[in-house]
Amino acid sequence: MGENKTNNFSTTLPAPQSELVQEIIKDPYNFDFLTLTEKSQERDLEDGLMKNLTSFLLELGKGFAFVGQQYHLEIGEQDYYLDLLFYNTKLHCYVVFELKMGEFKPEYAGKVNFYLSAIDSLLKTEYDQPSIGIILCKSKNKIVAEYALRDMSKPIGVSEYNITQILSEELKTTLPTIEELEQELEDK
């Protein structure tokens, strides 16, 4: 892998596919359409992306089709749930997004590699290209990400996301919600 590469696409995908993936996958993603607090959890991030699915799809770019949130897989009689599952019509493959509120940790790569193996066995057809995993983190150490991905067999990338509207809990509780504003307008 190259210097500080935070994906392994060039070593896990054939040349035409890896180049197209490099063009389509972003780093960082801009989620300015979200408003989260400092105490928000991964589920809040996921729910915010789903509530703003149109904006999320626009940020992802062309070709992404939504397949599911908390997509259920049963593997070895155990239940697993993928944060977000998409299909990319340009890449002709499934794309798994694993969401993390904090900094990238090496163990995330193993989890996504496992999910990709499952998707490739359970959902992928002979017409589909290998599935791709994207770990979306608030931040990453590029060297740690490079080492974590170097020997993974499945195509995985680590991308950061930016959210400029982080509200403190105090401020959030003093501002009216959209529902409260709508109710106030209806009452007038």
Neighbours of 29 (CB within 10 A): 19
Residue 92 region by backbone torsions, left for phi larger than 0, else alpha for psi between -120 and 50, else beta: left
Is residue 156 a contact partner of residue 132, using CB atoms and an 8 Å limit? Answer: yes
Is residue 120 a contact partner of residue 131, using CB atoms and an 8 Å limit? Answer: yes
Q: Is the pTM of this model over 0.85?
A: no
Predicted confidence pLDDT, tens digits, the chain (188 residues): 344 479 999 999 988 888 889 888 888 898 888 887 777 888 889 998 999 998 899 889 889 999 999 999 999 999 999 999 999 999 999 999 999 998 999 999 999 999 999 999 999 999 999 999 999 999 999 999 999 999 999 999 999 998 875 444 444 455 556 666 666 667 65
In whole angstroms, give the CA distance from residue 165 to residue 89.
Answer: 31
Is residue 119 a contact partner of residue 94, using CB atoms and an 8 Å limit? Answer: yes
Topology, domain 9-187: Trna Endonuclease; Chain: A, domain 1 (3.40.1350)
Rg from Cα positions in the chain: 18
Provide φ and ψ at 22, rounded to 5°.
Answer: -60, -35
Residue 188 is predicted with a pLDDT of: 59
Kindly list the strands in the beta sheet with 29-30, ordered across the sheet, starting from the edge strand earlier in the chain. 29-30, 156-162, 132-137, 93-99, 78-88, 64-75
3-state secondary structure of 145: helix
Residue 86's contacts (CB-CB under 8 Å, 6 or more residues apart) are 60, 64, 65, 66, 67, 94, 95, 97
Question: How distant, in Å, are the alpha carbons of 15, 52, 105, 142, 173 from that of 137?
Answer: 27, 18, 9, 12, 26
Neighbours of 21 (CB within 10 A): 25
| 22: exposed, middle or buried (Cβ count in 10 Å: 0-12, 13-18, 19+) | middle
